[in-house]
Amino acid sequence: MSGKIIRIDLPADPEQIRQLKLGDEVRLYGTMITGRDMAHKYLIEQKPEEMREILNHNIIYHCGPVVRKVDGEWKFIAAGPTTSIREEFYTADVIREFHIVGAIGKGGMGPRTLKACQEYGAVYLHAVGGAGTLLARRVVKVKDVFKLEEFGTPEAMWLIEVADFPVVVTMDAHGNSLHTKVTDTSTEVRNRLLGLK
């Protein structure tokens, strides 16, 4: 990690996203959208036009928030990341079809997503698991919600405004994956300890 914190305003400048590297600490400001399994399936199977402008040069947050209404407005109570590998089947297509520049989650993603990040100039950003209430404090406002009645609260697509939202780059647009590096290193150490080739 460089020690320097990089500010990204959303929707993002694609060139700024391309310049990000593994380990970069980022703070997000602006509007982004949550999306989990049902949202990704919906985006690829239905290709809704209303989502194109929202997603263009933007980021999808793999999050099933805990929300409640306060004085008639939605408020995030918890906003922790969900496991991203579940979205591996769809994410490369969402990047290509809707021109998103990144996804946020936990646990990393696979080779299809990594290839799409490199091809289209996107990144995977890691948010800290177990810090849902702290991350919810970075959600300044719920601007809109899509598919709430059909998908339910966790699977709905929440359009949120965030400020100083902390993430780390763990897959960049240059074909690098911290998750692959950790797996390779761990396998090498395990094999050495066990006397395996």
Residues identified as active-site: 40
**What span, in angstroms and rounded, lies between the C-alpha atoms of 186 and 101?**
29
**What span, in angstroms and rounded, lies between the C-alpha atoms of 47 and 114?**
22
Q: Which two tokens stand for residue 189?
A: 């150490």
**What span, in angstroms and rounded, lies between the C-alpha atoms of 150 and 105?**
23
**What span, in angstroms and rounded, lies between the C-alpha atoms of 57 and 55?**
6
Within 8 A by CB and 6+ apart from 62, the residues are: 34, 35, 36, 81, 82, 83, 84, 86, 87, 103, 104, 105, 106
**Cα–Cα nearest to 121, from 9, 20, 3:** 20
Phi then psi dihedrals of residue 121, to 5 deg: 75, 50
Across 21-138, the runs of DSSP E, i.e. the strands, are 25-34, 59-61, 66-70, 73-78, 102-105, 123-126
**What span, in angstroms and rounded, lies between the C-alpha atoms of 15 and 47?**
25
